[in-house]
Amino acid sequence: MSNSPITRALFDEVMVPSYAPAAIIPVRGEGSRLWDQDGREYIDFAGGIAVNVLGHAHPKLVAALTEQAHKLWHVSNMLANEPALDLARRLCELTFAQRVFFANSGAEANEAALKLARKFAFDHAGPEKREIISFTPSFHGRTLFTVSVGGHPKYTEGFGPLPPGITHVPFNDIAAFKHAISERTCAVILEPILGESGVISATPEFLREVREQCNQHQALLIFDEVQCGNGRTGHLYAYMGYGVTPDILTTAKGLGGGFPISAMLTTAAIAASLGAGSHGTTYGGNPLGCAVAGAALDLISDPELLAGVHHKHTVFMTGLRRINQQFGVFRELRGQGLLIGCELAEPWRERSRDFLKAALEEGLLVLVAGPDVIRLAPSLIIPDELIEQGLARLERAIAQTLSTAA
């Protein structure tokens, strides 16, 4: 067995090159800070891409995982387990849902939602009602079905033939959507806030019209809240802030606070179409994941924590506006709660990764949402003082990037 050191170079030797990670390797996290192999500290505004909603190594999540690890790690889905049933009950109590299906990732939750929608339509209207409407730009996962529904050409190139029966229309375009929906439509899927595609919020008018058209055409409305759910907007789920209730909701990322778990939520009547044996997953409802997610949900659903998200949004936006007054680098600042997009102005468009790299050099982790947007998705409980420290590092990173380009 090799005793050679673990370095970034090893990635290129042993890993499939589907990622291009940074040069650093984090080895420890606490709260909203990370430390790399050399002991250098970073402030985390990325949150594992909106996953670490309670920061790194939250003591209550560590305790839940440790306690469950001494009891039961895994049983097949031929048996129920207590953490899964308790988590499902809690999700039903806190949302519109009456039934829950657990999986391991957002893509799997969306796959389940899309399959359920087609099966429900097949059961109630026959095989011709199978069309799915999605919006561009959007992102719903990397399985062949979900990447086809997302509609990004760069994610589907070379993977054809793609699943048929999918129509794409522009996001927030009511007229285009009304033209596209028909009696053949079985489901409409959308992100209330586009995460990977620029942090763009749906307008309330758009969501209300989509809901009404789905009602008129007997189509199921699916909200993909993989990224914008779990307290990210200052509401437990984004649909609550909009006042528009879907038929199916998918959640992942922050649901486990860093532990891999996802869920599809729906009503009892719709769930009935996924009878025994019609769909499944080996690890869905794993006791370890459900125990951690249960502890995370208890914390995330606290009204005081959710109110804090709104407060921290204001702290971020105030600081970002101050930075922009100095440099004029942002065309628009947008988002809800602690999912924030900073769209770059000319001549900095197409340069988001340059700012990401500069921030890393300053000891700050940020994200991008396409070539033109810097994305922030930190812990929901990041202290205000760390926000200010991180913004100071971002300011230095922007200054360095602009001076280098001058």
Torsion of CA 21, 258, 188, 113, to 10 degrees: 110
Query: Is 253 noted as a catalytic residue in this protein?
Result: yes
Number of helices (H), then strands (E), in the chain: 15, 17
327: CB partners within 8 A, 6+ apart: 398, 399, 402
To which H or E segment does residue 111 belong?
helix 106-125
Query: Is 129 noted as a catalytic residue in this protein?
Result: no
To which H or E segment does residue 339 belong?
strand 339-344
At 286 the three-state DSSP class reads coil
Catalytic site residue from 44, 224, 247, 372: 224
Catalytic site residue from 101, 135, 139, 223: 139
- Pair of tokens at residue 170: 């522009």
- Pair of tokens at residue 380: 């929901």
Q: What is d(CA 205, CA 196) in angstroms, rounded to the nearest whole number?
A: 22
Q: Which class for 261: exposed (0-12), middle (13-18), buried (19 or more C-beta within 10 A)?
A: buried
Q: What is d(CA 202, CA 180) in angstroms, rounded to the nearest whole number?
A: 18
Query: Is 224 noted as a catalytic residue in this protein?
Result: yes
Catalytic site residue from 101, 253, 330, 355: 253
Active site residues: 139, 224, 253
